[in-house]
Amino acid sequence: MIVDCDPGHDDALALLLAVGDPRLRLLGVSTVAGNQTLDKTTRNALRILALAGATGIPVAAGSDRPLIGELTVAADIHGSSGLDGPDLDGPVAEPADGPGVELMRRLLMASAEPVELIALGPLTNVALLLRDHPEVAPRIRRIVFMGGSTERGNTTPYGEFNIVTDPEAADVVLRSGLPVTMIGLNVTHQALATPAIIDRFRAMDTRLGTVCAELMTFFAGAYLRTFGLADPPVHDPIAVAAVIDPSVVHTVHVPVAVELTGTHTRGATVVDLHRRTGRPPNADVAVGLEVDAFWNLLMTAVRRLGEATR
């Protein structure tokens, strides 16, 4: 698999799951501007991989802005660094040479088997990859992205942050003809970092477990201030969990479109659950989550990494 991300507290947990589960082989990481600016999301990806003892995985900086318009970051949720909360100072590797899209292209073309492409931020890099390098399409087994919703949004009334940040990129991905799985807010809001979950991280008694607890504590405070939610939803790791164990996430195969022009709905994902539009299905859309199984996957991965990096 390749992960494209914008760390981000929940991206950090997703990277730990991708590195810590032995059923996955993480080939590389590309970063995109989203939760914070590109320089910060790239450094955060390197910091998390260093913390996990996975410094050999290449990380390359991708796009620093959406395809159209200006970037708006989520500092109200993720803080000025993008990973506020724990002390993550320490040596990190240098980013790989070249842009993130080129790293993805190179890894895809070199792989002996098709690759799962997991996108956890705005879909800018993925759209540029598909647009500028159509030769990679046969090398992509599936695109799994965290974004959108079958219901309400979190940035606008109907728009989720990753899609609202770059609706045109999401439109490219959903019209690509490739297998696509959408993990939206309707499912990610079932995975809440409750005090009991935070205690499970802390009880691991490892540096990594403590960092995860501190990340989620900061995240909880941001969600309480911004949305009035005491327990924050942990969005991005669910996309990785869906690749590890498809039984954890329940999906339906339906038509999905992105609203590009609506005055109040730009960036909304229009999920045709009842097939009213007559369009052919183009995505597997998450509609249910095995919550306990998800948390057990994540906890097992973080515990394994924490014990290996004591």
Active-site residue list: 235
Residue 184: other Cβ atoms inside 10 A? 26
Helices (H) and strands (E) counted in the chain, each on its own, are: 12, 10
In degrees, to the nearest 5, what angle opens at C-alpha 187 toward C-alphas 182 and 188? 95
What's the CA gap between 167 and 193, in Å, rounded?
28
Length of the chain, in residues: 310
Q: Is 186 in a helix, a strand, or coil?
A: helix
Distance of CA 255 to the CA centre of its chain: 22
- In contact, 108 and 142? CB cutoff 8 Å: no
- Cis ω on the peptide bond leading into residue 8 (within 30° of 0)? yes
Residue 123: other Cβ atoms inside 10 A? 33
What's the CA gap between 102 and 128, in Å, rounded?
10
- In contact, 129 and 101? CB cutoff 8 Å: yes
